[in-house]
Structure 1
Amino acid sequence: MSANSEVRDGMRIDWDVIVEMDDGLQLRADVFRPDDDGQYPVILSYGPYAKGLAFQEGYPSAWDRMVEEHPDVAAGSTNKYQNWEVCDPEKWVPEGYACVRVDSRGAGRSPGYIDHFSPRETRDFYECIEWSGVQPWSNGKVGISGISYYAINAWHVASLQPPHLTAMIPWEGAADWYRDMTYHGGILSTFWDNWYDMQIKTVQHGVGENGARSIVTGELVAGPDTLTDEELRANRCDFGNEIASHPLDDQYHQDRSPDWSKVTVPFLSASNWGGQGLHPRGNIEAYIRAASTEKFLECHGIEHWTEYYTDYGVDLQKRFFAKYLQGDDAAWDDQSRVQLLVRHVDRFVERAESDWPIPRTDWTKLHLDPSDLTLVHDPVTAEATITYDAMGDGLTFFMPPVEEEIEVTGPLAAKLHISSSTTDADLFLVFRVFDPDGEEVTFMGAIDPHTPIAQGWLRASHRKLDESLSEEWRPYHTHDEEQPLTPGEVYELDIEIWPTSIVIPPGYRVGFSIRGRDYEWDGDTTGLRLSNFKNELRGCGPFLHDDVRSRPPEVFDNQVTVHFGPDHPNWVLVPQIPND
């Protein structure tokens, strides 16, 4: 047990408790629990963001926006123990839980070598779960809760089936290291390289005096020792370059992805419609494919972190854990399998569904008509071609303004027939909505305040499908080999577009864009940034695809031709929900 144990704000807090791994490395954890001799279920998080770094200190722009717009987040707590993307112990310990926060190997106050999502790190998480399950203050039931990193690694560790893992809430957590996170449709995302610089290297164990101090304890959040830059580099993987050196879904990626057949623990998977480029796909694939028989899906909107901390989110989490960690069946037994905050242009409306995709979905094909760049319900019969410059704005096809309200909720997909002037082509697809004045409707996404309705990506040389996993509404690509194009030859592409939700009012219209580069909002975003990201927010947040190593101009600054006609159907499949 920690040499530093004290009572603060009604909680017994054990600081820097040693948790020894199977290889002898000693991680550090903080434990928040009721101040008595009882045994309680554990809510555990394991990750790299430094358990001693307060949310307000490490991520001030995100915190300030959240509490200003959602005062319920800060209500009922001193907020001294708020940490980035994990639960506030002041809202959980009084409910009869022990909250355990572990700094992952090489981060914060835990020594070691940083290798994110690696088998070693997942094994550490397993060891922390089993340690938590046998402590004298634990009743043996361990739950995992947290956002993003703390949810991604939950899917991974659940594949190992630790005996004391009883339930988990992966909140906005990607799962497939290749498809969800590093290569969208086979196109390298630069997010992780920049994230590593901004959010990990700043709290790596050994930053010491060059880093922050805890506003609660006064201790250095990244360990007592201050190492040289050379020593720090030797203690971490070369993350961005490692990702870039694995352009196919090889063992590197598979080692950092879950085995859905082994994910059997009860879970609540919470997804964000606006999280395009990172999380929503993983949360939804988990619900569809995991072997768990007790699994639930929730989908919401607004910022990536906010709903986890609002009264809406905390109530949902407490009811789930009340059942699975505290044995209160009544708290959750009336819960639907799927709970949606359906997105309207001006609000969200809560609705229960029995499954996902929604069983009553009217799968509607909107065909691309080259004669007037429209979306039509009937297949196109005339042969035609349209060519666009990949680094330009591409092509946008429009529906007429809708006469009655239309709801689109679910996964989308597209079929396109294209040729390229080079040996490859990157396709960036955007499903869009425009108001009666022609202004695009965008939303506060997980990161970016001007996020479009839905996006999808595919590198044409990665067009090979996994027939065993593909559905018309979710093509699934193997990404296990490159199949270069012959310039000028026509190829059929099936393209996944990530799930979304939008109720389109009368007078609004749908647009569907085919591009060769990342989406950019047409409005003024000058200087719009968050403190933990490098780039200006122009519609895609930090989830960009602009690394010239992956997209050399001689290949991807090309001309792409879309081919139309009876033998070359082009359409976008839209999940329209009947108005009951």
Structure 2
Amino acid sequence: MATRAAGRSEQVWITMDDGIRLAASLFLPASDAPQPCLLEALPYRKDDITSSYTEEYERLRDEFSYAVCRVDLRGTGSSQGVAVDEYPLREQDDLVAVVAWLAAQPWCDGGVGMYGTSYSGFNAIQVAMRRPPALKAIVPIYATDDRYTDDVHYMGGSLRLLDVVDYPTYMIAMNALPPVPSIAGPDWRERWHDRLDRTEPWLLRWLDEPLDGPYWRHGSLRDSSLDTGESYGNDYARIAVPTMVVAGWADGYRNNSFRTVAQLRDAGTPARLLAGPWSHMSAESALPGPHLDLVAELARWFDRWLRGADNGVDAEPPYTFFLRESGGAPEPDAAQVAGSWRSMPDWPNTTWRCPRSWAIGGGTRVLAVRADTGTAAWNSCAGRLPWGQPTDQRFDDAASLTWDLPTETEPLTLIGPGWVSLRVAADQPLASVSVKLCDVADDGTSTLITRGFLNLAHRAGHTEPVPLTPVEFTDVEVELETCAYTVLPGRRLRLSVSGVDWPNTVAPPRPVTLAVDGDRSTIHLPAPQNHDPAPRYDQGQRAVEGDAVAWRISDDVIDRVTTATVEHGSTWDIAGGTCTDRYSASVTVDRRTWRQTSTSTARFTLTWGETSVSTECAVELTADADHLTVAITLQAYDGAAVVSKRCWNHQAARRFG
């Protein structure tokens, strides 16, 4: 599409019913004719930390003639108020009001769309559940319909240990930064000090909510009736606006893909899936590729549902995805992976069960679980390095129970989620099971296809855990993460089972021995569906990484301690100055006692002319046999002077692992 005349940008305040003002940036087309408006709402500071998003907003404005609004959520960036938690009810109330405000502006034709990556994908789903009249379509990117099972807090009923050192840490430091002086005005320091005094770490609440329930159901589309006590039947029917879900097979929110689109379509809502091989990064540059121009795809979707354009997007197959296939050795920073774009006209609903099954066999086998098993795929949500792709799994396979399934003479295509039925026993009341499915080459290279994890106390559900009876066998089902993958002829399909997935999740409280009765265990995989070639998208470009990236696994042989360490940082230009982030973290496990620690430090520095401010957060979490103990220190600097120092110490019992 030819580039149109550049529009204009402006900063505005949107006042809420309680008087709090939200800071917003508007990107308005050059045309005087009213246009639909697209909204993205994030806590990640529009004017500095994520100021690079501006290029996307300008493209939507100048190439596709959309008005665009980017909002700093309450208590973040330059907006007033306090950020009390992620996705609070007040935040949804605010965004419903923002949608109405946008629709009433003279430059808007009354139609609003919401979209965004991760956090803004979540709130696009949540606001759509509220059904504001002016909201006409949404595009959640790398988000999910279930905050407990498929977010960064818990996995299979266990704490996501690695995520403690990442997202919670930098959000504490980010939420403590001041408003931008040129936007907030001369009293910006007063507002900053108020924010420093009143903002609490979100992590503390998350540690106090280890079980599913009303806290996690709030903002979850799946089974959200638990949040209100009302019955909605199919909860997905709460969303009536056309929805395009964008997912990545290397992203932690991949399970939202097929199931959400299928459920929305079953409820009569127009829905589309676009899933690539990507990590938690832009589809134009994510590791790995191939890539596509997602801005153009967004415009096609919104053109159809906000402008009524007869562009055929609703007549295309509703499921378009990249089907990976057997290729070279897995690399942590792979720029491209083998496969092809495919499409499907339909997808089974939730009553469908995988018809392709294999008995594992081999009798009963016993594993003395090694506490550090999992470092070859230690992060289930890849993103910008050092959060990279899984490496060769053969080293974790060697510390697991493994079964090689018969070699196929025809390509074996897996599309969707599968599961493993296991008959297991453990010598401890609190134990877990980690399952991985790998593609094994002739030279022994083992590539991860999909994984599953279950805290065995949660075998009957995530609301009322029941510890195991030691050494007594029990039957469990472990759901495998959604994938789209073809195993080529001559390759082997390997199932590996361990008792930990470390440090992706916290290991059980004490050393454990696991037994698996293979004769009464079965693997169930999604059978091939009718899938056709889809358009080949542009390859895109490899992402540019930060200027300080490290990713290390080390072994203290004498003390029997394994440590995973990451570091990264960047400096970039912002309006009137610079922004710098620096981050370092490590996670350790004692292989004798299974005591685990995570330590992390995140620091942000903003400069505007002669003014320089910084915040630094340090988080240390210890998981011993009985407790999770966390210590948090937050310091803020105005120039070289410390203007605030706050400390939190918190302990939660490990009742169910």
| Equivalent position to 1:81, from 38, 54, 66 | 54
For 1:479, the aligned partner's letter is H
Q: Which residue is equivalent to 2:619?
A: none
Distance 1:251 1:223 in 2: 42
For 1:236, the aligned partner's letter is T
Q: Which residue is equivalent to 1:250?
A: 213
What are the Cα deviations for residues 56-103 of structure 1, in whole angstroms up to 9, with x where unaligned? x7xxxxxxxxxxxxxxxxxxxxx7823xxxx43224433120010000
| Equivalent position to 2:457, from 438, 444, 461 | 461
| Equivalent position to 2:412, from 400, 406, 410 | 406
| Residue pairs, 1:198-217, within 5 angstroms | 199-204=170-175, 206-207=177-178
Distance 2:250 2:487 in 1: 16
1:364 Cα deviation from its structure 2 partner = 1.3
Give the TM-score taking structure 1 as reference length: 0.75
Is 1:25 aligned to 2:20, yes or no? yes
Q: Which residue is equivalent to 2:8?
A: 12
Q: Which residue is equivalent to 1:483?
A: 466
1:205 Cα deviation from its structure 2 partner = 6.0
For 1:457, the aligned partner's letter is F
Report percent identity of matched pairs. 25
1:204 Cα deviation from its structure 2 partner = 2.4
Contact 1:54-1:80 within 8 A present in 2 as well: no
Contact 2:275-2:321 within 8 A present in 1 as well: yes
1:228 Cα deviation from its structure 2 partner = 10
Residues 561/287 of structure 1: CA separation in 2 closer, same or farther (3 Å cut): same
Distance 1:126 1:423 in 2: 46
Q: Which residue is equivalent to 2:652?
A: none
Contact 2:154-2:160 within 8 A present in 1 as well: yes
Distance 1:32 1:224 in 2: 26
Q: Which residue is equivalent to 1:285?
A: 259
Distance 2:358 2:450 in 1: 15
| Equivalent position to 2:67, from 93, 98, 103 | 98
Contact 1:148-1:173 within 8 A present in 2 as well: yes
For 1:508, the aligned partner's letter is R
| Equivalent position to 1:274, from 247, 250, 253 | 250
What are the Cα deviations for residues 283-322 of structure 1, in whole angstroms up to 9, with x where unaligned? 3332133335211112111332231676442332221111
1:232 Cα deviation from its structure 2 partner = 4.2
Q: Which residue is equivalent to 2:311?
A: 330
Distance 1:251 1:13 in 2: 40
Which structure is richer in relative contact order (CA contacts within 8 A, separation 6 or more)? 1
Unaligned runs of 5+ in 2: 225-235, 286-290, 328-336, 374-398, 532-657
Contact 1:453-1:500 within 8 A present in 2 as well: yes
Q: Secondary structure at the match of 1:261?
A: helix
Is 1:369 aligned to 2:361, yes or no? yes
Is 1:348 aligned to 2:304, yes or no? no
Deviates more, 1:289-298 or 1:428-437: 289-298
| Residue pairs, 1:178-197, within 5 angstroms | 178-181=148-151, 182-190=153-161, 193-197=164-168
Unaligned runs of 5+ in 1: 1-7, 58-78, 371-382, 442-451, 465-477, 520-542
1:248 Cα deviation from its structure 2 partner = 1.0
Greater strand share, 1 or 2? 2
Deviates more, 1:283-292 or 1:133-142: 283-292
| Residue pairs, 1:26-425, within 5 angstroms | 26-53=21-48, 55=50, 81-82=54-55, 87-114=56-83, 115-181=85-151, 182-190=153-161, 193-197=164-168, 199-204=170-175, 206-207=177-178, 219=182, 225-226=188-189, 231-258=194-221, 259=224, 260-275=236-251, 278-290=252-264, 291-307=267-283, 311-344=292-325, 345=327, 346-357=337-348, 363-370=355-362, 383-389=363-369, 391=371, 392=373, 393-425=399-431
For 1:287, the aligned partner's letter is V
Contact 1:404-1:505 within 8 A present in 2 as well: yes
What are the Cα deviations for residues 225-251 of structure 1, in whole angstroms up to 9, with x where unaligned? 247998545433431121111111121
Residues 229/107 of structure 1: CA separation in 2 closer, same or farther (3 Å cut): closer
| Number of residue pairs aligned between Structure 1 and Structure 2 | 469
| Equivalent position to 1:559, from 513, 517, 524 | 513
For 2:487, the aligned partner's letter is I
Deviates more, 1:225-234 or 1:394-403: 225-234
Distance 1:233 1:489 in 2: 52
Residues 202/250 of structure 1: CA separation in 2 closer, same or farther (3 Å cut): same
Residues 161/492 of structure 1: CA separation in 2 closer, same or farther (3 Å cut): same
Contact 2:418-2:526 within 8 A present in 1 as well: yes
Distance 1:126 1:489 in 2: 52
Give the TM-score taking structure 2 as reference length: 0.66
1:574 Cα deviation from its structure 2 partner = 1.1
Q: Secondary structure at the match of 1:317?
A: helix
Distance 1:229 1:12 in 2: 29
For 2:359, the aligned partner's letter is H
Deviates more, 1:219-228 or 1:25-34: 219-228
Distance 2:176 2:142 in 1: 26
For 1:154, the aligned partner's letter is A
Deviates more, 1:137-146 or 1:119-128: 119-128
| Residue pairs, 1:564-579, within 5 angstroms | 564-565=518-519, 569-577=520-528
Q: Which residue is equivalent to 1:62?
A: none
Distance 2:429 2:292 in 1: 52
Residues 386/190 of structure 1: CA separation in 2 closer, same or farther (3 Å cut): closer
Distance 1:192 1:48 in 2: 18
Residues 241/222 of structure 1: CA separation in 2 closer, same or farther (3 Å cut): farther
What are the Cα deviations for residues 268-296 of structure 1, in whole angstroms up to 9, with x where unaligned? 11111111xx3111233321333352111
What are the Cα deviations for residues 144-177 of structure 1, in whole angstroms up to 9, with x where unaligned? 1111111011111111111111001111112211
1:107 Cα deviation from its structure 2 partner = 0.9
Contact 2:78-2:178 within 8 A present in 1 as well: no
Deviates more, 1:319-328 or 1:223-232: 223-232
Residues 230/363 of structure 1: CA separation in 2 closer, same or farther (3 Å cut): farther
RMSD: 2.9
Distance 1:505 1:196 in 2: 37
Q: Secondary structure at the match of 2:420?
A: strand
What are the Cα deviations for residues 3-41 of structure 1, in whole angstroms up to 9, with x where unaligned? xxxxx98121111x1111222211010000113432110
Residues 486/323 of structure 1: CA separation in 2 closer, same or farther (3 Å cut): same
1:429 Cα deviation from its structure 2 partner = 1.3
